[in-house]
Structure 1
């Protein structure tokens, strides 16, 4: 029986682009080939790490086409389709389907804060725009909208919505949160987490997926951590997680997006910079990032 698409390790790469926002497709494919060499269960294209909100519709479509060509159905591609307007998100969903995406990831992007009814109707409309499975992207740190458990229950009843990408719980009670969500969502609804430094703990607690920033650059190491956690090997998880600790500290201090751009530059994978107004990290941090890389690759 095939593994559900919203389960296991999902690696989220950068989307290299020039200063005008034109996607560097060769650079993107270089990052994707690195991911394909590892044991990942999906690729999260155009997520927050993939700077989807900084790219035009046409450039998003070019990125999807380049990814589908490179990946060639070896692993599923989950495409981020967040947009301010519902009709724009529907069009992005349809673009992704036409270009060969396997699944969709939708965040409730907004300027005016959304009510729960507005969020539900937005997701209902976008989920109905294609037949592709859709994962709810609960990312309150960027969208300033946090899904209540009753809203997740309601959304999970829609036929194409099959999973949720959750932030780390503030009380770190993964087991409690997972149990509450399982009690109100259908069998087979996948509950995964982002927030790399807590994801292994979420898998040990019974979470279904790790939506990982770091796996976009270090997929083999992230895959080893995922395997240990899904097999309940707490001692091995603790050992492997120590190698990631320098990155976790950098992510918390400077934001994972800035750090992975700097790390990708140091590794020679791309010379692309974050989209303005986001600025590259100070060169003063280069030794710390090099040390974090050495901890994983040593």
Structure 2
């Protein structure tokens, strides 16, 4: 499994009791596959993996795989508080047919680098599923260092890194630091949509993109411009999305994507409690942005 190009991360519609709405999820995943994204990032943070039981995660994965039908690889979140539970989630995903697992060091007690190494290595070894490291310090309160990633990149089955893109002027140095510790073929991907385009131009392998979970063709136009060596066009397209990026930063991409899916009539799901849906002025701002932007 080589993670490159555009990986689109949809929300996971579910009822208030946490039961996944498979019909709504299928409606969200089908346009991603039809558009030709390079992978679907199911059950990421925007997909609220941490709020779903093992059973519901499997139902979501089965629905997405059924829609994909092998057209598009499915990268699925397998993060859990306990190592044995993360192993079981990886085994579930492998048995179902997922291409790779996205593994964040989820924890209540802050973890050391040695603890994260042992956790991830065990999941890769016992889960039997290619693993993408998920560096998401905003939620896990743990940051992967180049030295730790270098150690983990030597473990069989650990194949990629998903990490927040830095401020635009630091993209080149940031990627060089990672390149210096991982072997050839190890995929370096970025998240944080508003900074990702400069990282792609600087040579990142993949864009793990929340916006593309609803608007895959917009993301693909940017990725293809980068692939064609047309950085100016990629930057122009990215600049047109500034109103959306501002909303992501103000309210979180998760809340904005839930509001967008509702406003567009794609599904009526709300984020899992205690996260509250956007209402009032924030929701109106999302509606105004959707009307102004070309997100076809």
TM over 0.5: yes
TM-score, normalising length: structure 1: 0.96
Q: Does 1:218 align with 2:212?
A: no
Task: Note the residue ranges of structure 2 that are not aligned, 5 or more in a row.
Answer: none
8 Å contact from structure 1 (residues 192, 211) kept in 2: yes
Map of 1:47-86 to 2, 5 A cutoff?
A: 47-86=44-83
Tell me the distance in 2 between the aligned counterparts of 1:250 and 1:290.
11
Q: Secondary structure at the match of 1:129?
A: helix
Tell me the distance in 2 between the aligned counterparts of 1:287 and 1:270.
18
**1:131, distance to aligned residue in structure 2 (A):** 3.0
**1:285, distance to aligned residue in structure 2 (A):** 2.4
Q: Does 1:236 align with 2:195?
A: no
When structure 1 is superposed on structure 2, of 15-24 and 164-173 the one drifting more is: 164-173
Tell me the distance in 2 between the aligned counterparts of 1:172 and 1:15.
34
Q: Secondary structure at the match of 2:12?
A: coil
* Counterpart in the other structure of 1:153: 150
**1:243, distance to aligned residue in structure 2 (A):** 2.4
Tell me the distance in 1 between the aligned counterparts of 2:163 and 2:233.
24
Instruction: Indicate which of 173, 176, 181 corresponds to 1:176.
Output: 173
Tell me the distance in 2 between the aligned counterparts of 1:267 and 1:5.
33
* Counterpart in the other structure of 1:278: 275
Task: Note the residue ranges of structure 1 that are not aligned, 5 or more in a row.
Answer: none
Task: Return closer, same or farther for 1:172/1:276 CA change in 2, 3 Å cut-off.
Answer: farther
* Counterpart in the other structure of 2:15: 18
Task: Return closer, same or farther for 1:292/1:111 CA change in 2, 3 Å cut-off.
Answer: same
* Counterpart in the other structure of 1:89: 86
**1:290, distance to aligned residue in structure 2 (A):** 2.0
Instruction: Indicate which of 189, 193, 217 corresponds to 2:190.
Output: 193
Aligned residue pairs total 295
**1:170, distance to aligned residue in structure 2 (A):** 5.2
Tell me the distance in 2 between the aligned counterparts of 1:177 and 1:284.
37
> In the TM superposition, what whole-angstrom CA distance separates every residue of 1:187-239 from its partner, at most 9, and x where no partner exists?
10110100001111110000000000000000001110111123331210122
* Counterpart in the other structure of 2:294: 296
Q: Secondary structure at the match of 1:37?
A: helix
8 Å contact from structure 1 (residues 109, 143) kept in 2: yes
* Counterpart in the other structure of 2:106: 109
Q: Does 1:162 align with 2:178?
A: no
Map of 1:17-56 to 2, 5 A cutoff?
A: 17-56=14-53
Q: Secondary structure at the match of 1:110?
A: coil
> In the TM superposition, what whole-angstrom CA distance separates every residue of 1:102-134 from its partner, at most 9, and x where no partner exists?
111100000000000000000000011233211
8 Å contact from structure 1 (residues 244, 292) kept in 2: no
> In the TM superposition, what whole-angstrom CA distance separates every residue of 1:216-268 from its partner, at most 9, and x where no partner exists?
00000111011112333121012211221111000000000000000000010
TM superposition outliers: structure 1 runs of 4+ over 6 Å = none
* Counterpart in the other structure of 1:257: 254
TM-score, normalising length: structure 2: 0.97
